[in-house]
Amino acid sequence: MTFSVVVPVHNAELYLNECIESVLRQSYLDFELILVINASVDQSLCICEAWADKDSRIKLLVTEEAGVSNARNLGIELACGDWFVFLDADDYLMNDALELLEKYVEPNIDLVVANYIQDKPIYFSNKITKISAHDYILAMLDHPMYFKQCNCGLTWNAGLLGVNWAKAFKAAIIKTNKIRFETGLSIFEDLVFNLSCLKLMDQIKCIDAPVYYYRITGQSLSRSSTLRSVKQRLDYMNYLQSNKNTVEDEKIRQAFEFQIGQNVIRTFVIASQGIRYNHLIFTELVNFTDHPDIRKIVLKLRRTRLSQGKIQSKVYTVLLYLIKHRMYTTALLIGNTYSKLKNKD
């Protein structure tokens, strides 16, 4: 059984050697490493070329088109493995990552989900569970309601369900159905890709053991990044809204609506960080929230379990009340205060 490890590389020179080395030193040897250099202007290409010259398992592809989704799609096209593993260039794999993933692959399993580590230590139970793709979708779209109910056995936060790393995807499902990342999205493209796969999957295996190191890289807030973040979330919510009516399962459709409603609240918090210097942020968000279809979702959104965090859920409850009553300016002010307290050193 062969793994295809797909790594999009964009201006990643700082961490790239560690990332590549983590794949090449895997205890499981049957893999190919696909490096897709997309619109990099640093030394990333030189680093990748040097590694490719030393190891024949590396496939190198260069594109001038920016975007992580496009890079991953090109990697999928080039991949020949039985299972796909996605890795970001500023992260790395544990030494036995592929060996652990391969150990739990079975004929009736379509996706293997493991765990990850960051700088702070965490206890892992090593619990192994099987869940249905249906339950996984519910937990992915509505963490507060379904994460514990799905009994996936993962001790780390439920956001792991939506990302594409720390997982092994059955390649045949992706290749046969021509599943690709949405290049029109620049946020939550992982979750949308997972959703496209899960619709065609049956059984998921979860292993509460780390295979992946996730590196948090901080980015300072700026006017453009606040506006961009709001627009990214609006694009994501529009995507969900346009696709939710194609879902036949009522429970999953409700989970779609929760994901939209929850992100409306989150977007008010993000937009609040730029209210003093960019009126466009406020205008775009209000126009979106006032759209009749979105307004219906917001008005029927539940008032409890809006987040996994107790304090955050209480803040979201207050914000939801204000948004329902179109008290948008007050919602932004509350969101701004909450952001400052949350991010206080």
Q: Which residue has the higher pLDDT, 166 or 118?
A: 166
pLDDT band at 219; cut points 50, 70, 90? very low
- pLDDT digit string, tens, across residues 108-146: 999 999 999 988 778 899 999 999 999 999 999 999 999
The percentage of the chain sitting over the pLDDT mark of 90, rounded to a whole number, equals 83
Work out the average pLDDT over 222-247.
Answer: 86
Tell me the pLDDT of the chain averaged across its residues: 93
Work out the average pLDDT over 212-235.
Answer: 76
Write the burial class of residue 256 (CB in 10 Å: 0-12 exposed, 13-18 middle, 19+ buried): buried
Q: Which residue has the higher pLDDT, 219 or 44?
A: 44
Query: Does 149 have pLDDT greater than 70?
Result: yes
pLDDT at 221: 42
- pLDDT digit string, tens, across residues 266-284: 999 999 887 665 777 888 8
Query: Does 310 have pLDDT greater than 50?
Result: yes
pLDDT at 136: 97
pLDDT at 220: 39
Query: Does 345 have pLDDT greater than 80?
Result: no
pLDDT at 343: 73
Query: Does 324 have pLDDT greater than 80?
Result: yes
Query: Does 195 have pLDDT greater than 90?
Result: yes
Assess contact for 79 and 6: CB atoms under 8 A.
yes
